[in-house]
């Protein structure tokens, strides 16, 4: 596995982009962040967020206490507004629904290099506050990488955020960071191992649900694991 390195021009772009987006979110809304003490700075971990709208990843990444790597859906790269920003930040493309060995090699190289990775276990935005079922991908990452998962609940990033902000409402935005989740090594085989991956993925979502109001729990209603 090749060593993961962030190109110099991407590192320089991030020096500009992260403060810029922090300022924009503070101008447009009221940002509150809690649980920063739960982040194991300088160590490898996965940041798992709920994903309602296009505002979630930039909000989480802009305010995260260290520059994290990010994976994002490949179709977003073709959009005029979002695509260039994703490329400038160095977001890693994900082809939803496909097994991509090169992608997973990159992910494990990122984590092995001691960096953090932001992802949405749902595999895409829901456009509704209620969470959807997690895809098993994060379960596979947990199995292979054996790094902690930091659950993050994002509140207020609904599709109408921009419209409300333009009206001067200053919507409340919250980033709620939970304690690291450490998973034991998997011992299951075959079909049972696939079920275990999904179980791990669902556990992550249940921890995220525990950081959010009940109306955000979606398919995990009644299953939330509270801090």
| 50-86 pLDDT per residue, tens | 999 999 999 999 999 999 999 998 888 988 889 999 9
Average predicted confidence (pLDDT) for the chain:
94
Look up residue 89 and give its two tokens.
């930040």
Q: What's the CA angle centered on 126, arms 122 and 129, to 5 degrees?
A: 105
Question: Per DSSP, what are the bridge partners of residue 31?
Answer: 173
Look up residue 205 and give its two tokens.
């979502």
Return the pLDDT at 95.
79
Return the pLDDT at 30.
98
Return the pLDDT at 100.
76
CB atoms within 10 A of CB 48: 28
Q: Check: CB of residue 181 under 8 Å from CB of residue 149.
A: yes
With a CB cutoff of 8 Å and minimum separation 6, the contacts of 188 are 195, 196
Q: Check: CB of residue 33 under 8 Å from CB of residue 174.
A: yes
Return the pLDDT at 99.
67
pLDDT tens digit at each of 227 positions of the chain: 568 999 999 999 999 999 999 999 999 999 999 999 999 999 999 999 999 999 999 999 999 999 999 999 888 898 888 999 999 999 999 876 666 788 899 999 999 999 999 999 998 888 899 999 999 999 999 999 999 999 999 999 999 999 999 999 999 999 999 999 999 999 999 999 999 999 999 999 999 999 999 999 999 999 999 99
With a CB cutoff of 8 Å and minimum separation 6, the contacts of 121 are 48, 134, 135, 137, 138, 201, 204, 205
> Could you tell me the maximum CA-CA distance found in the chain, to the nearest angstrom?
55
């Amino acid at each position: 596995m090749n060593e993961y390195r962030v190109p110099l021009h991407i590192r320089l772009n991030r020096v500009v982009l992260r403060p810029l987006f922090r300022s924009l979110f503070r101008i447009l809304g009221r940002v509150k962040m809690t649980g920063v003490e739960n982040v194991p700075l300088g160590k490898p971990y996965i940041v798992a967020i709920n994903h309602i709208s296009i505002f979630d990843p930039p909000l989480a990444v802009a305010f995260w206490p260290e520059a994290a790597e990010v994976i994002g859906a490949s179709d977003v790269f073709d959009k005029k507004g979002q695509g260039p920003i994703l490329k400038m930040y160095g977001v890693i493309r994900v082809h939803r629904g496909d097994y991509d060995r090169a992608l997973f090699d990159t992910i494990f190289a990122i984590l092995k290099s001691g960096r953090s990775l932001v992802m949405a276990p749902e595999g895409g935005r829901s456009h509704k506050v209620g969470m959807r079922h997690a895809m098993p991908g994060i379960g596979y990452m947990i199995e292979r990488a054996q790094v902690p998962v930091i659950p993050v609940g994002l509140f207020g990033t609904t599709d109408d955020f921009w419209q409300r902000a333009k009206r001067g409402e200053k919507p409340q935005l919250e980033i709620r960071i939970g304690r690291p989740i450490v998973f034991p090594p998997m011992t299951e085989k075959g079909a049972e191992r696939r079920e275990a991956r999904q179980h791990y993925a669902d556990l992550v979502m249940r921890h995220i649900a525990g950081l959010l109001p009940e109306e955000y729990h979606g398919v995990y209603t009644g299953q939330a694991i509270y801090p």
